[in-house]
Chain A
Amino acid sequence: MPDIKPDTMTETGRAPGVTSAPRGADHANARPGVAKAPRQRRHRGHTGEALLALAMTTPAVVLLLVFFVVPVALMFGLAFTNARLISPRPAEFTGTENFTMLFGDSLFWASLRNTAYFAVVVVPVQAGLALVLAMLVNAKVRGRNFFRTVYFIPVVTSMVVVSLLWRFIYEPDGLLNQLISTVSFGAWEGTDWLNNPSTAMPAIMIMSIWQAVGFHMVIWLAGLQTIPGDLYEAAALDGASGWRLFRNVTWPSLLQTRTFVLITITIAAFSLFTQISVMTQGGPLDSTTTVVFMAVRTGYEQHATGYAAAVSLVFFVIVLTISLVQRFLTRERA
């Protein structure tokens, strides 16, 4: 298919008689041109084609404008106002007041700290475990499809359901503590996992990894299956085996997959909300409050849209910076 240069397209597009021709007539004109190069036919339909193409993209573009571009722009705008969710008075410009307040807000720093804590633990652990699972089910063994399916089941289970289920598991007299005392013959006792400031966040981390690790297993698996078998054979002929095979063949071949896995887990980790909302409401002692949870609290429950927009803007900048840095770092190594 020859590429058509835009300038030639405009020229023919301006030709009188073609531009105004209705689509039906255009087809009729196209018929005698069959013998000519396809390029010719394309030229004739240019203006009609452009208008039609524009019409076909319009629904998607309009929806993206209304539900993506406008709210993102609003986030930047509202962050510098005292806008409230429901208020008779119009929002007033307040300059950087929201940010001054935000950086002096200890809840904001706690949220940021907890979110970072969650991400720093969950990103490498979940990515690593997912890779281990992928390699376990990638081996040619009996029932590997069955294992893969079961490992994936939590992924299709909603995070709300998973959070409620694990609330029961973490109850003082719940499944986990019963298991601990049964296994240790009563020697050990668990704690009230979600009501203890030092265990609440780790408990949520474990559950989150349990729920999502199957997702990234599948992605690693897709990456593993793109590695050609002769690469392994060649390396094996050179005497590589086990760990060295992994380090010199598998790992470098997974560069693209790695970037994708890291970025998606990081963004998901920073967006931590559902688990907190269902399991702890940010407690105990603000030990599990997160940036998104705080934004929802202030912007929705307390109606302080302007302040929540400021929180969102900081969150936006952080997420964007991290994914750009990750993209840059993984690209550098290539």
Chain B
Amino acid sequence: MAVMTPTTLPLGRTLSLQAVRVLLLLVFAFPIVFMFVSSFKPDAQIFADLTSWRAFVPVGDISLDNYRGVFDRVPAGRMLMNSIGVSTITVVLGIFVNSLAAFALSRMRWRGQRVILTGIIATLIVPFETFALPLVWWINKLPWLEMQGFRLVLTEGWLDTYQVQVLPFVANAFSIFLFYQYFSSIPRELDEAARVDGASWFGIYRRIVMPLSGPAVATVAILTFLPAWNSYLWPLMVVQSEEYRPVMVGIQYFFQLNVAWGQVMAYASMITVPVLALFLAFQRAFIGSIASAGVKG
């Protein structure tokens, strides 16, 4: 029997495997294609097209009416801005806070670093869902300083704010771990040389280690952005008003007040396109970051 390495498979099997790949491609792509295509069609046509190939092609009565309908009914623009703001700030703060901690833990020598590192890594095994409810109770009691006019006022409770959507997700054990791993691969001789030239530790962090850590920054950015953009359980509980509502909670409320499927598909497409565009533009980084999560975890 022939050796079955990938290159020496018989032609018949190669072809049937390729057929399987194409079939799976359709299974994964069609629901998404259907969503985009339907977002341009009136409801009657969505249902009429279901029985044929037309369901997956933008043909017939194509318009942006569904999109207009979404903006007429709810402040979708506001919710999009909320989600963009919350995810961006979470990513930026996350990169800074976690890389700083990882830098101190991996490159400097001090007492207690082992203990802190172990403590941080230990938090990895506890999923967020287990302590989400006690956390709701807890953030409802936390104080915050707020500007009211020209006076700083102490307020209690973080429900219906932006900080409640950002701060709990800034420090992340996994991000620290990824940075730690990456930093440890950068030669320490560079630090020594910089110290000789009079660089401070913060200077080494900012001008040597961080500029060399592009891939780690990209990985952490992606792994922070995706859950922030897609977050649902947490804002569902801590954000009531439309003013602070992010898109994922927004679309669920939207769905509940209206079952015009075309509009739901339009809303769904709007909040999927930004992530999908980012994914297609930075595919290699996306897939690489997930892969590195697996290999290192």
Contacts and interface: CB of A to CB of B under 8 A. Distances in A.
Name A's interface SS.
Answer: helix
Interface residues of B, number: 104
Interface in B104-157: 104-105, 108-113, 116, 120, 123, 125-138, 140, 142
A54 B195 CA distance: 19
B43 to A, nearest CB: 11
Contact of A30 (B111, B195, B261): B195
Interface stretch (A71-79, A96-104, A195-203): A71-79
Contacts of B18: 141
B251 A164 contact: yes
B103 to A, nearest CB: 6
Nearest to A213: B28
A296 B294 contact: no
Interface in B240-297: 248, 251-252, 255, 261, 264-265, 268, 271-272, 275-276, 279-280, 283, 286-287, 290-295, 297
Contacts of B17: 136, 139, 141
A329 to B, nearest CB: 16
Given A59-B171, A218-B287, A38 B125 contact: no
A282 interface: no
B98 interface: yes
Chain A interface: which size bin?
35 or more
A148 B133 contact: no
Contacts of A30: 195-196
B34 interface: yes
A140 interface: yes
A159 to B, nearest CB: 7
Contacts of A260: 294, 297
Contacts of B265: 165, 168
Given A46-B109, A236-B5, A292-B233, 11 more contacts: A49-B108, A50-B110, A67-B135, A67-B167, A71-B134, A72-B130, A141-B18, A152-B279, A159-B232, A210-B31, A316-B126
28 contacts: A4-B109, A6-B111, A27-B198, A30-B196, A42-B109, A53-B108, A53-B201, A54-B110, A59-B97, A63-B170, A68-B126, A68-B131, A75-B134, A85-B136, A150-B29, A151-B24, A160-B252, A165-B32, A169-B31, A241-B4, A270-B127, A271-B128, A274-B232, A295-B133, A296-B133, A305-B133, A308-B133, A316-B131
